[in-house]
Amino acid sequence: MGLLAVGILILTVTPRRQESPVAVSASTTLATPASTSGSARLTESVRPQAVAGVTAISRPATQRNDPLATPVGDGRLALLTASAVGAANGSTVDVRFSTGEVEPGLVVASDRDLVIVEVDGRGPGLAIASDTPDDDEIVTVMATPPVTVAFADVDTLNVHEGTAVLDDEGNLVGLCSLRRGDGSLEVVSVSGDLAAATSDGR
């Protein structure tokens, strides 16, 4: 009986053979080399993107962000939104045209909506529309690329400050502005009085 008890005790404390593969399997499921190489690959793939992201962020800081101007009449005057230009009459501001060219402009007139600057004429500008379109009339917003919508729907677009709006005859109706308190878009109308002021032979 004593020998039988000793034999049972030995069998009880001795690990069974099938536990060894389980232990080995458990240690290999950690997959340390695969995990490490996976993280190395992840780090390598993310690092260039992070560098590229920093480069992309730094580029706009070095690029010009001048207000968008729309030449009118004979091209020696251009219009900007008052929201984009906080300059007084007689001051000089750098303005950007839709072609991407930038040049200085002399502020010759302004009101709460628009600013008129004198620039070096490079050819004819836009004619100014005599009337504001009705809400259901089709206009062309000179985004990139241009967008054709009903006049009432211009405020649903996402365009740059100062983007020109043309009627169906290609005449300038107004400029897009984000001057509303909630940041929504509206069209600053170009009136007939302004048309007369910009075509007085200057």
Q: What pLDDT, in 10s, does the model give residues 151-178?
A: 999 999 999 999 999 999 999 999 999 8
The Cα–Cα gap between 95 and 64 comes to 10
Beta bridge mates, 80: 115
Instruction: Say which residue, 115 or 18, is predicted with more confidence.
Output: 115
Residue 161 inside a domain? The answer is yes
Give the predicted TM-score (pTM) of the model. Answer: 0.64
Instruction: Say which residue, 165 or 12, is predicted with more confidence.
Output: 165
CB atoms within 10 A of CB 166: 21
pLDDT of 65: 80
Residue 125 inside a domain? The answer is yes
Q: Do 164 and 133 contact (CB within 8 A), yes or no?
A: no
- Mean pLDDT taken over the chain: 74
Please choose, from the candidates 142, 160, 155, the residue with its C-alpha nearest in 3D space to the C-alpha of residue 187: 155
Residue 173 inside a domain? The answer is yes
Per-residue DSSP letter, 90:
T
Q: Specify the number of domains making up the chain.
A: 1
CATH of the domain at 192: 2.40.10.120
Residue 61 inside a domain? The answer is no
